[in-house]
Every structure is written in C-alpha cells, then in structure tokens.
Amino acid sequence: MISASRPVGFCLVLSAPSGTGKTTIAQALLESDPHVKRSISMTTRASRTGEVDGEDYIFTTQSSFRTMVEEGGFLEWAQVHSDYYGTPSAPVKDTINSGGISLLVIDVQGGQSVKAIFPDAVLVFLVPPSMESLERRLNARGTDDESVIRKRLSQAETELGYLAEYTYGVVNEDDQQEKTVAKIQSIIAAEHCRVNRWET
C-alpha cells in the first residue's frame, strides 16, 4: 500500500556565484515555510561582530574540526585559506528523518559532495540574469575593490560550468526576489509529489 500521508523529508541544496542573492533567497524561504530548516555550517574561523554561535555558524577549534573529519561527521568540508568550513551531517539527517527539508547554502563543490551522499537531494542553482548584472550587483555592494570583483566574476564563470550537475536552475532576475522564491517553492511542492519519496 502506497502512502503519501506523512511529510516527505529531503535535502535542498542552494548554490550560486557570489553576488547572485542566495543568502537573501535562502532567508526568504526559511521565513515562508516552517518545514524548511537551515543547515548551520561549522567553521574554525573567529566569529565576526554580530555573529551568534549556533545561529550564523557553529564555531569550533581546528583540533575538534579535524576529529569530526576523521570520524566522518561532515557531509562536505573544505579548507579556505587557513580556516575550515563544513556541513555537520547529524542535524541534516535529523531534519530529513523528521519529515523536514534541510536547506544547505553551499558552493558547487559542496553540492556535488552532498549529491554523492544523498542521491535524491534536490540541487538548485541560482543563476544571475547576466554577467553584466552580476558585475553591477557586486559593485553596488561596495565591499570589494576592483581586483576582488574581477576574481569573483572569474569564479562565477567557473561555477556556472557546474549548472548541468544540478537538478534545477532558477534565474534570480534583478528586483524579482518574490518571483524567485515562488519558483523554488514550486520546486519544493513538486518534489513532495514525487512518488519515489512516498512510503510503500
């Protein structure tokens, strides 16, 4: 007997080049659907002003981080300069097992690592409407100098090469946040209807 009466939990990965708006879109998804739970990354870097341990990141020591790596405690992890970042696996699995949607806002390499562990994960790539638009957004932030912006644009070109590895691509048009969120909500609704997620 097939049953779709219970909530269907799964992993939702959101990736995008820097400046595309993934943080804003992720926050809007969290606020619009109580079943969506954000996976909180762990890092060895020092907390910045205003950041809250356990909300923005889980801050830890390099020794503790390496121990978790050895014990297989991460879905994915990476070293960025002298610091480590990773996605703890236990909270993600707990959310999925309880029928929730675990939202991971991670880069393309991390997305591929998660896909290898959760083959039925839903991978959404947030795409800028154009490279010109992305450049305008990066300039408008006013946080990077020209050399950093050039580097981010080059990285964006590389990341866009991973688009075919994702389940869905959603263009985040300028000043169209609500439409972008609505599209991802439609993806979530469709994924709930996939019969291979139903209990038998």
Report residue 199's pLDDT band, with 50, 70 and 90 as the boundaries.
low
CA distances from 168 to 140, 154, 157 (A): 28, 22, 18
Please say if the pLDDT value at position 1 is more than 70. Answer: no
pLDDT tens digits for range 99-153: 999 999 999 999 999 999 999 999 999 999 999 999 999 999 878 889 999 999 9
Q: How confident is the model at residue 5 (pLDDT cuts 50, 70, 90)?
A: low
Type of residue numbered 102:
S
Percent above pLDDT 70 for the chain: 96
Q: Do residues 87 and 110 touch, judged by C-beta distance below 8 A?
A: yes
CATH number of 10-39+100-197: 3.40.50.300
* 8 A C-beta contact, residue 190 and residue 39: no
- The average confidence (pLDDT) of the chain is 92
Indicate yes or no: pTM above 0.75: yes
Average pLDDT over residues 21-40: 94
User: What is the reported pLDDT for 6?
Assistant: 58
**What's the pLDDT band for 154 if we cut at 50, 70, 90?**
very high
C-alpha 187/C-alpha 183 separation (Å) is 6
From edge to edge, which strands make up the β-sheet containing 74-80? 58-59, 42-43, 83-88, 74-80
